[in-house]
Amino acid sequence: MIVVANREPYIHEYVDGAIVVKRPASGLVTAVEPVMRACSGTWIAHGSGSADRATVDREDRVPVPPGEDAYLLRRIWLTDAEEQGYYYGFANEGMWPLCHVAHVRPVFRESDWQHYRAINQRFADAVVREARSDNPVILVQDYHFALLPAMIRERLPKATILTFWHIPWPNPESFGICPWRREILQGLLGSTILGFHTRFHCKNFIETVDRYLEARIEHEHSTITHGDKETFIESYPISIEWPSPATVAAWPSVTVCRQQVFGRFGLSADHCLGLGVDRFDYTKGILERLHAVERMLEKYPQWVGRFTFVQVAAPTRSALEEYRTFQQRIDGLSKRINERYGSGSYQPIRLLAEHHSHEALNRLYRAADVCVVTSLHDGMNLVCKEFVAARDDDLGVLILSRFAGAAREMAEALIVNPYHVEETADALHRALTMPVAEQRERMASLRVTVREFNVFRWAGRMLADAGRWRLRERIEARVQRHKDL
């Protein structure tokens, strides 16, 4: 199996002259990495770490995870100008805001598009070189590679190409402002299967193709035929790896986690802790969340001095002006709320704008009374699933945005509209006063859902569908051969 993703699952960095391995803050990596560990194969990605070149062999490959060597990581090198155009420019200033419709205007530059096309071609060439047969199974990941499926199809016509789009797909009007909408749709239709998190995103995609391309759409079978190529459009809600009993046994108890976290922030045992964990991104609704915390302290003053909100905000895309401005706004808002409601050592908002280890995040999940996910728009969102997986004590309350794909599966959370500050503030108060019995009932049910619909179910369904398509194609080829005789 070959996975193509922009982000690599393991980044080698120089720190004080020594090489350290870092796991990036990325929902895609969280979900796809366990699947690769189980299936083996090659993961092709941009080599972005300062020590990445020092750790690969002559073919730019390195076995990972370090010490386990379950699969190969093949690194692709980009110049600063290419990274600027393809990654920061077209992917993150164009496609990301275009698909999230979070009221940040997409930017489309001709030069970014040229880089995007060239880098997609470079990855396609690498796929062809890595393929060990003429019909490999290739998993193309995300909005960085919209052109890749058709480019691979041209060189490996028999390949099974499974493309998964990790972010939302907007309606045809919103998508229509992209100057290269036809090229992007044609690129994606090189896939055998094109997957989204929800039916709603599939429907938006099909309607977009209907609006801008000449194609035959079979709604009943959810297929699109463009030229002589048929693509199956399906929803595959992504998830996380459910922690094994051995993993859970190695975790510090909830009591110990709480003591450690409360000790770190100087909180008394009867204090209540709220938690947000995100990449520091404007789509995640961090601003709206902090406004809701402020409103809760205003509306329910009994929480002043008794409630602290910890926001982990892992640095991301800080090279972009939009992100730097956003991060400054959050910083300013946190300070203002702390000035308004803090006193002595009490600070209601603790903004931790740095990368955390998995262990540190897990400790926070286990220590929190409430986890708040208020994305303005999110393909799925895995933080809510990680919080649930971390709570083997069946306690803690999840507040979840209705605009995250996860809201469709996690109905036992307190579902909110993050744009409605009053509603989120009330949900916070409700979460903090929720009886233990109700917490247990909701959390136990959420845990059943996430355990059952874990990431292996996601990958398994997609690969099973791919298997059916391969079989069908083989049968059709055989029938054709007989006809030709």
Contacting ligand GDG (CB under 6 A), which of 3, 91, 131, 314? Answer: 314
CA distances from 72 to 38, 60, 146 (A): 13, 10, 23
The distance of closest approach from Cβ of residue 354 to ligand GDG in the complex, given in angstroms and rounded to an integer, is 7
Pick the closest to residue 456 from 234, 236, 249, 247 (CA basis): 236
What is the C-alpha separation between 49 and 21, in angstroms, rounded? 9
- 257 three-class SS: helix
Using CB under 6 A, pick the residue from 358, 468, 472, 474 that binds ligand GDG.
358
Q: Which of residues 393-452 bind ligand GDG (CB under 6 A)?
A: none
Least gap, CB of 359 to ligand GDG (angstroms): 9
Residues 152-171 that bind ligand GDG (CB under 6 A): 166-167
Q: Which one, 149 or 379, has the nearer CB to ligand GDG?
A: 379
**Does the footprint of ligand GDG cover residue 27 (CB under 6 A)?**
yes
Q: Does 296 bind ligand GDG (CB under 6 A)?
A: no
470: its two tokens: 């391969």
Residue in 82, 83, 93, 386 binding ligand GDG, rule: CB under 6 A: 386
Rounded to whole angstroms, how far apart are CA atoms 266 and 259? 10
DSSP β-bridge partners for residue 351: 311
* Strand 229-235 versus strand 272-279 pairing type: unpaired
State the Cα–Cα distance between residues 227 and 305, nearest whole angstrom. Answer: 65
Nearer to ligand GDG, 144 or 226 (CB): 144
Among 5, 11, 26, 276, binds ligand GDG (CB under 6 A): 26
Alpha carbon of 90 to those of 218, 243, 282, 368, 460: distances in Å?
A: 31, 36, 17, 38, 32
Should residue 382 be labelled a site residue for ligand GDG when binding is judged by CB under 6 A? yes
Q: Given the complex with ligand GDG, which of 354 and 441 has the nearer CB atom?
A: 354
The rounded distance, in Å, linking the Cα atoms of 419 and 401 is 9
* Residue 4 engages ligand GDG in binding (rule: CB under 6 A): no
Residue choice 46, 201, 279, 291 for contact with ligand GDG (CB under 6 A): 279
Q: Which stretch binds ligand GDG (CB under 6 A): 184-192, 229-237, 380-388, 412-420?
A: 380-388
**Torsional class of 276: left (φ above 0), alpha (ψ -120 to 50), beta (otherwise):** beta
Is residue 381 part of the contact set for ligand GDG (CB under 6 A)? yes
Residues 219-238, mask of contacts with ligand GDG (x by CB under 6 A): -------------------x
Is 299 within 8 Å of 428 (Cβ atoms)? Answer: no
Which residues in this chain contact ligand GDG in the complex, by CB under 6 A?
Answer: 23, 25-28, 30-31, 166-167, 238, 277, 279, 312, 314, 355-356, 358, 361, 378-383, 386
